[in-house]
Amino acid sequence: GAVVSQHPSRVICKSGTSVKIECRSLDFQATTMFWYRQFPKQSLMLMATSNEGSKATYEQGVEKDKFLINHASLTLSTLTVASAHPEDSSFYICSARDFAGSNNYGYTFGSGTRLTVV
């Protein structure tokens, strides 16, 4: 089945540095990928929709200058947390949809990235 690889799984960084998270669709092409954020004991919240070859669409309240999304190819989307601060510490998950294979939406999720900013 469709596989989405997300890297790194864990990252600890100093406040003020930038962190890049990669999301790859391994065996299918994903024109659209989604980035979610999960706070402790809260739901996954959609941050942005990443579209290959065009600008990402951000949800209300998500700072596009803080969370930079690049979807340069049909198999790779990256999320860069710019000048990270401790309040950016969270669990970030990407997902992609394999349009080709299914009539069940076919969403596949990455394994998530635990970001800790110290």
Q: What track of x and - describes contact with another protein for positions 72 through 91 (by CB under 8 A)?
A: --------------------
Under the binding rule (CB under 8 A), the answer on residue 32 touching another protein is yes
Q: Which of 80, 78, 71 is nearest to 32 (CA)?
A: 71
76 Rama class: left (phi>0) / alpha (psi -120 to 50) / beta: beta
Contacts to another protein from residues 42-61, by CB under 8 A: 42-46, 49, 57
Q: Which of the 8 DSSP states describes residue 24?
A: E
Q: Which amino acid is at 113?
A: T
Amino acid (one-letter) located at 52:
E
> Which lies closer to another protein via its Cβ, residue 77 or residue 110?
110
* Minimum distance, C-beta of residue 44 to another protein, in the bound complex (Å): 4
Nearest to 55 by CA among 70, 37, 40: 70
C-beta neighbour count of 105 within 10 angstroms: 9
Closer to another protein by Cβ: residue 90 or 95: 95
Stretch that binds another protein, among 21-29, 31-39, 70-78, 82-90 (CB under 8 A): 31-39
Q: Which residues bind another protein (CB under 8 A)?
A: 4, 6, 9, 32, 34, 36, 41-46, 49, 57, 93, 95, 97, 104-105, 107, 109-112
